[in-house]
């Protein structure tokens, strides 16, 4: 390539590079101005996005400082909102807590805040479910059962627990009800065995009392029938 052609080629490349650089500066300047307008309107998160786009096109020290300042400001505001959310959550004000966390997330996207929102929303759902007619009825019946159990009226308590579980199945109560039923059946069987031994020994009146006592623990139709027959026998 002749020297004059090479010089022209180099000049063309230089001119093209200069034009591209000016275009980039213009694009960066436009993005910076858009960011400034958004910042004046109080739209800090959107402004930060524009400033970052400007930096991606053309690295500028002034814009970098603006970005750092905005990031710090948004982080401070986000942290303050998280603190508000935690205070609301501790006070049981779950809706307010969720709103504060969500607003914090709009400032700075942080995974732990997303987890807090998910946890609060779960608590809100649980609270709403607890206020449903089925859950309210179940809680009432469960409490009645506990009161009866404390009074020693175990079979009646078991009945209340079973009613409660029909309205809403709660695993802890189900476990307690099953254990109580097993205990009552065993007590009833023990009295029936004692009654049988007394009856075989000819002590019919004492046997009758044992059979009746078994009913207080866990009534059974076959035991009721045996009691009726034994009562008739004793009347003779």
Last residue of a domain, one of 9, 40, 59: 59
- Report whether pLDDT(150) > 50: yes
| Boundaries of domain holding 26 | 1-59
User: Which one, of 25, 53, 27, 23, lies nearest residue 38 by Cα?
Assistant: 53
Report, as an integer, the average pLDDT of 56-82: 86
Greater pLDDT, 21 or 185: 185
- Report whether pLDDT(67) > 70: yes
Cα 190 to the center of its chain, rounded Å: 45
Q: Is residue 148 part of a domain?
A: yes
Q: Give me the pLDDT at residue 87, please.
A: 95
Q: Is residue 64 part of a domain?
A: no
* DSSP states of 109-160: --HHHHHHHHHHHHHHHHHHHHTSHHHHHHHHHHHHHHHHHHTT-HHHHHHH
Q: Do 139 and 229 share a domain, yes or no?
A: yes
Report, as an integer, the average pLDDT of 153-157: 96
Contacts of 57 (CB under 8 A, 6+ apart): 24, 27, 28, 31
- pLDDT tens string 93-109: 999 999 999 989 888 88
What's the whole-model pTM score? Answer: 0.51
Q: Do 137 and 231 share a domain, yes or no?
A: yes
Q: Is residue 80 part of a domain?
A: no
Q: Is residue 209 part of a domain?
A: yes
Q: Is residue 49 part of a domain?
A: yes
Last residue of a domain, one of 37, 59, 81: 59
Q: Give me the pLDDT at residue 9, please.
A: 47
Q: Is residue 114 part of a domain?
A: no
- Report whether pLDDT(45) > 90: no
Contacts of 121 (CB under 8 A, 6+ apart): 98
Last residue of a domain, one of 40, 59, 78: 59
| CATH code for position 150 | 1.25.40
SS3 per-residue string spanning 167-188: HCCCHHHHHHHHHHHHHHHHHH
Q: Give me the pLDDT at residue 54, please.
A: 84
């Amino acid at each position: 390539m002749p020297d004059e052609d090479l010089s022209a080629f180099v000049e063309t490349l230089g001119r093209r590079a200069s034009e591209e650089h000016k275009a980039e500066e213009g694009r960066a300047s436009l993005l910076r101005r858009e960011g400034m307008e958004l910042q004046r309107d109080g739209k800090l998160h959107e402004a930060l996005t524009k400033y970052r786009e400007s930096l991606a096109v053309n690295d500028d020290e002034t814009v970098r400082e603006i970005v750092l300042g905005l990031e710090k400001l948004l982080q401070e505001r986000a942290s303050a909102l998280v603190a508000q959310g935690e205070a609301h959550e501790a006070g049981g004000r779950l809706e307010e807590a969720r709103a504060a966390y969500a607003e914090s997330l709009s400032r700075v996207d942080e995974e732990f805040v997303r987890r807090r929102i998910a946890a609060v929303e779960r608590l809100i759902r649980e609270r709403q479910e607890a206020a449903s007619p089925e859950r309210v009825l179940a809680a009432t019946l469960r409490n009645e059962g506990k009161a009866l159990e404390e009074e020693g009226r175990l079979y009646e308590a078991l009945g209340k627990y079973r009613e409660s579980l029909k309205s809403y199945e709660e695993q802890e109560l189900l476990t307690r009800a099953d254990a109580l039923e097993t205990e009552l059946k065993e007590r009833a069987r023990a009295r029936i065995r004692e009654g049988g031994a007394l009856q075989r020994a000819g002590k019919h009146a004492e046997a009758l009392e044992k059979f009746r006592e078994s009913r207080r623990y866990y009534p059974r139709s076959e035991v009721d029938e045996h009691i009726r027959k034994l009562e008739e026998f004793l009347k003779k």
